[in-house]
Amino acid sequence: LPDRLGAIAGADTLTLIFYGIFFADRLVLDLVLTTVIVIVVGFPPAYFFISQQVRLAVLAAKLDRIARTDGLTGLSNRMAFFEEAQALIDDSLAPAGSLLFIDADHFKSINDTFGHATGDSVLRELGAIIRSCIRGGDLAARIGGEEFAMFLTGADRNEAKQVAERIRMRTRGISGALGIQGREIT
């Protein structure tokens, strides 16, 4: 029993430190589960320290992903885009690339007229269109409001124009698909 109490104390201390800061709503549940597992199963304390460290590492990776992703579109956010694009530009062995910026025309009037929920739907659709038009090694991000950026790795001017045109053509259908009358996203 003494080593189980030590395991509980150690595991719960790690849980308190991490979850107390970031996930207070899950804190009690995790403390109870950890304690029950230690008492019922009786794993040695080292197991719990290791398992808590693994859980903390997984959650830290999740937090990093959340911090670098635009919550609405699922694309990278501004900070992540500029960091990753700069790394590609600085890599002397990486092939040259093309940088595209997109500003969705008429978005503000759609957002003002039809409401923020409709505006959010437009942005989600734009994000999906952009994601579908780029390759696996390319970068895409929502860098603010209705502004998007892409770094097309190894793409020349003609390839960049083709990607931009595909996005422009697919964007034309957003208004109709969302039931927005009289305003087209271009």
Residue-level pLDDT at 84: 93
pLDDT in tens, 84-120: 999 988 887 877 899 999 998 888 888 888 889 988 9
Laid out side by side, the sheet with 76-77 consists of 76-77, 139-144, 147-153, 97-103
The reported pTM is 0.69
Mean pLDDT of 156-171: 95
Residue-level pLDDT at 175: 74
More confident residue, 3 or 100: 100
Highest mean pLDDT: which of 47-51, 167-171, 177-181? Answer: 167-171
The 3-state DSSP class for residue 76 equals strand
Using an 8 Å Cβ cutoff, are 105 and 172 in contact? no
**Closest to 149 in 3D by CA, of 172, 130, 135:** 130
- The total of other beta-carbon atoms located within 10 Å of residue 137's CB is 13
**Catalytic (active-site) positions:** 146
Inform me whether the pLDDT recorded for 22 exceeds 60: no
Residue-level pLDDT at 6: 61
Q: Kindly state the percentage of the chain with pLDDT values over 90.
A: 42
